[in-house]
Structure 1
Amino acid sequence: MKRFAYTFLLASFVLSQYGCTNDSTSDLIDNTAAGDITYTNTVKGVVENNCLFCHTSPPQNGAPMQLTTYTDVKNAVMTRGLLDRISRAQGSAGMMPNGGTRLPQATIDKIFQWAQNGFPE
């Protein structure tokens, strides 16, 4: 009986480690068409929900600039290293949002795509 119990436990462990795999990445890929990523449709909401606590007008909590308009955000990407700051690992020095949780990679990827597409409004 003990041998059966050990065999059962071992088989359960092996199945729990390898039996429930999902090699599909379809649930990890954001299927938003690149042409649909604009400041108004995508980036503005991200900024409003994650950045305006500090980067408001006037900036609060030691933020060096505001991010309240399209021009502000575009300038921050082009000249202030915004993409680098939001891409840093959780807890890294200079990571944004400061003191918060790192944005999901899919969200960061959308902002990169927005910049690569020429910052469509």
Structure 2
Amino acid sequence: MADAPTDITLHQKSKILEVVFEDGATYNLPLEYLRVYSPSAEVRGHGGPMQLVTGKKDVGVEQIDPVGNYAIQLHFDDGHNTGIFSWDTLRELGENYEANWADYLKRLEDAGATREKLWH
């Protein structure tokens, strides 16, 4: 299990969650990225493939709750709040941001989907 971050800062205006670990690793994680890579069953699938989450370009976070001493729960402004982001998950998402984001953009393109919220 990864060490707990020494600092977690939500930057509402830029929609970034800044996570700093004791070893000096600092990750600026876009809220959209955290939403589309949420560790929830809704996103990760119930044993199946990861779901493609679309239309979250402007998603925000309304609240962050600690979960024990091993994770945080993000309450996104689109109502999603079932993902528990463990310290290991936050570090993995930070370390693999570029590859994960490129994969997400490719999956969006392949599906003909968009990051923009579509109004009906």
- TM-score class, shorter: under 0.3
Taking structure 2 as the reference length, what is the TM-score of the superposition?
0.27
Taking structure 1 as the reference length, what is the TM-score of the superposition?
0.27
Instruction: Please say which structure displays the higher CA radius of gyration.
Output: 1
Which structure carries more helix by proportion? 1
